[in-house]
């Protein structure tokens, strides 16, 4: 090999180790800065620190790599050029200073130059492939040290990533960390649209992978109140209790990078159903005018009565029902009022059931107790004669009777018929009273002369009362 080839072979090996040292140093610096940035930004600290910090750390990483590249380039210029390598070989091979460098310069200048270069090559031949072993060991030591530093930096990053995962994500996605879109969006969990006045609201903020969130709240007429909540790492939920509430509540939660939409919880009064009125319209045959029924007291109504109900509520109604064991009556709801009518067919206890826009309404009137009285048949009693008796064919018999009805009597009649040897004759009716009262008590005379009764005939008498 010529002296130029020998020097270039050694130079190539030295350059390779210089480059390896530079690459290891660059990788180590990058991993070390990533590990430091991950630890610095982890545990949700990146949300409290300045927004540009992840980008700034990457700028530092780039600057460090540029510095390493420049350092490696200068090192190559200073220690891996052909002349510098030739000088190192001269020192280590105990040759006269400048011998190899001079041979390199005259190797292509003529016969004498080629002869001088060949002499140098012969001089270096006994050294074999290791012309500058000390320089090579020195460069190799630097490469090994840089590789070791990179390995330590990799171990530090491997330790930081699982312990500060959010910080590592912030490093990998600095723009998302800047905008606040790196983590799942925070939101209120099951925030009710309405609460009752005086109640306490249990506020839940879903903020996964955060350590803390800030909740700002305000009620009309008061300043904003801000409090910091600790997020449960297991559930990702932060909770607090607000109240008792006296007015509409405005709340917004923030993690320092993003925030929820502003939400309003309306405060409403406890819904109730009241101002109930009932009116009974009785069957027409009773001739009884319609009248109001007391609310909250048992009511006794004739069968066939129609009951009209109306009332109001403090909140918008979805439905209003009257439910008994065997029947359910649905009343017509119109915003905060309701009305309806029904004809009870049996005695029962009707319970109020009402629901508004926010759910069932518990504050309702007392159950409606109705006793439905069926229309009974009139009761008649023939007072005298109280037993069978014997009479003459032309007697005038005085009959005394009473008749009662629960609602009223229309008429009272005597119905009689004769039964004898000639068989039974057609019944004869004789009206003795017309009354609308519920009780009739009176007498009537039954004249037997027109009946042409014969000895042995039997005269059957019956009092018939008809209700109204």
pLDDT band at 217 (very low <50, low <70, confident <90, very high): very high
Tell me what the pLDDT averaged over the chain comes to: 84
Q: Are residues 136 and 46 in the same domain?
A: yes
Q: Are residues 279 and 264 in the same domain?
A: no
Q: Are residues 9 and 110 in the same domain?
A: yes
Q: Are residues 13 and 161 in the same domain?
A: yes
| CATH label of the domain that carries residue 448 | 2.60.40
**Which residue segment(s) compose the domain that 103 sits in?**
3-178
Tell me: the pLDDT tens digits for 124-133? Answer: 666 666 777 7
Measured distance between the N- and C-terminal CA atoms of the chain, rounded to whole angstroms: 145
Q: How far apart are CA 397 and CA 391, in angstroms?
A: 8
Give pLDDT, residue 124.
Answer: 66
Q: Are residues 127 and 161 in the same domain?
A: yes
pLDDT of residue 10 exceeding 80 = no
Give pLDDT, residue 115.
Answer: 62
Long-range contacts of 224-233 (CB under 8 A, 24+ apart): 229/205, 231/205, 231/207
Give the least confident one: 45-49, 137-141, 218-222.
45-49
Give the least confident one: 144-153, 301-310, 334-343, 449-458.
449-458
pLDDT band at 306 (very low <50, low <70, confident <90, very high): very high
Give pLDDT, residue 119.
Answer: 63
Q: Are residues 150 and 49 in the same domain?
A: yes
Last residue of a domain, one of 341, 373, 405: 373
Q: How far apart are CA 314 and CA 221, in angstroms?
A: 25
Q: Are residues 84 and 71 in the same domain?
A: yes
Q: How many C-beta neighbours within 10 Å does residue 255 have? A: 24
Tell me: the pLDDT tens digits for 354-371? Answer: 998 778 888 888 899 999
pLDDT of residue 397 exceeding 90 = no
Last residue of a domain, one of 151, 178, 205: 178
Give pLDDT, residue 310.
Answer: 93
Give pLDDT, residue 446.
Answer: 84
Cβ-based burial of 146 (10 A; exposed 0-12, middle 13-18, buried ≥19): buried
| CATH label of the domain that carries residue 235 | 2.60.40.10
Domain count, the chain: 4
Give pLDDT, residue 177.
Answer: 78
Q: Are residues 7 and 72 in the same domain?
A: yes
In this prediction, residues 41-53 reach a mean pLDDT of 77
pLDDT of residue 284 exceeding 80 = yes
Q: Are residues 123 and 205 in the same domain?
A: no
Give pLDDT, residue 14.
Answer: 81
pLDDT band at 94 (very low <50, low <70, confident <90, very high): low
- What's the whole-model pTM score? 0.48
Q: Write out the E strands in 5-79.
A: none
In this prediction, residues 271-295 reach a mean pLDDT of 88
Last residue of a domain, one of 350, 373, 396: 373
Distances (CA, A) of 67 to 63, 74, 150: 6, 11, 16
Tell me: the pLDDT tens digits for 197-213? Answer: 888 899 999 988 888 88
pLDDT of residue 53 exceeding 80 = yes
Q: Are residues 49 and 155 in the same domain?
A: yes
Higher per-residue pLDDT: 200 or 285? 200
pLDDT of residue 106 exceeding 70 = no
Q: Are residues 383 and 354 in the same domain?
A: no
Q: Are residues 300 and 419 in the same domain?
A: no
Judge whether 323 and 350 are in contact, CB under 8 Å: yes
């Amino acid at each position: 090999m010529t002296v130029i080839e020998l020097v270039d072979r050694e130079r190539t090996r030295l350059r390779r180790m210089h480059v390896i040292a530079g690459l290891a140093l660059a990788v180590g610096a990058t991993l070390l800065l990533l590990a430091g940035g991950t630890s610095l930004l982890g545990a949700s600290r990146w949300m409290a620190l300045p927004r540009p910090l992840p980008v700034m750390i990457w700028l530092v990483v780039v600057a460090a790599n540029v510095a390493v590249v420049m350092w490696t380039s200068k090192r190559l210029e200073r220690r891996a050029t052909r002349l510098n390598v030739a000088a190192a070989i001269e020192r280590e091979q105990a040759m006269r200073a400048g011998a190899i460098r001079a041979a390199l310069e005259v190797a292509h200048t003529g016969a004498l130059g080629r002869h001088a270069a060949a002499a140098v090559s012969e001089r270096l031949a006994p050294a074999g492939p290791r012309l500058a072993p000390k320089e090579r060991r020195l460069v190799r030591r630097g490469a090994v040290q840089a590789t070791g530093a990179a390995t330590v930096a990799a171990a530090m990053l491997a330790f930081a990533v699982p312990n500060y995962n959010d910080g590592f994500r912030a490093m990998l996605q600095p723009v998302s960390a800047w905008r606040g879109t790196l983590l799942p969006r925070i939101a209120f969990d099951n925030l009710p649209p309405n609460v009752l006045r005086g109640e306490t609201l249990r506020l839940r903020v879903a903020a996964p992978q955060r350590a803390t969130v800030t909740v700002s709240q305000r009620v009309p007429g008061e300043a904003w109140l801000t409090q910091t909540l600790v997020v449960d790492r297991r559930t990702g939920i932060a909770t607090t209790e607000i109240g008792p509430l006296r007015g509409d509540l405005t709340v917004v939660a923030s993690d320092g990078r993003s925030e929820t939409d502003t939400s309003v919880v309306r405060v409403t009064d406890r819904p109730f159903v009241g101002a109930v009125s009932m009116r009974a319209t009785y069957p027409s045959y009773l001739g009884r005018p319609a009248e109001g029924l007391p609310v909250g007291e048992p009511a006794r109504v004739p069968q066939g009565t129609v009951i009209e109900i109306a009332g109001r509520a403090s909140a918008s109604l979805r439905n209003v029902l009257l439910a008994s064991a065997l029947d359910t009556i649905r009343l017509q709801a119109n915003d905060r009022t309701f009305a309806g009518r029904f004809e009870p067919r049996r005695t029962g206890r009707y319970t109020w059931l009402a629901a508004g826009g926010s759910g069932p309404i518990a504050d309702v009137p007392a159950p409606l107790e109705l006793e439905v009285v069926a229309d009974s048949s009139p009761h008649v009693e023939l007072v005298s004669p109280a037993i069978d008796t014997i009479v003459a064919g032309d007697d005038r018999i005085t009959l005394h009777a009473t008749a009662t009805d629960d609602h009223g009597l229309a008429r009272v009649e005597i119905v009689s018929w004769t039964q004898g040897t000639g068989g039974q004759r057609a019944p004869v009716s004789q009206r003795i009273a017309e009354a609308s009262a519920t009780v009739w008590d009176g007498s009537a005379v039954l004249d037997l002369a027109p009946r042409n009764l014969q000895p042995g005939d039997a005269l059957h008498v019956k009092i018939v009362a008809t209700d109204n």
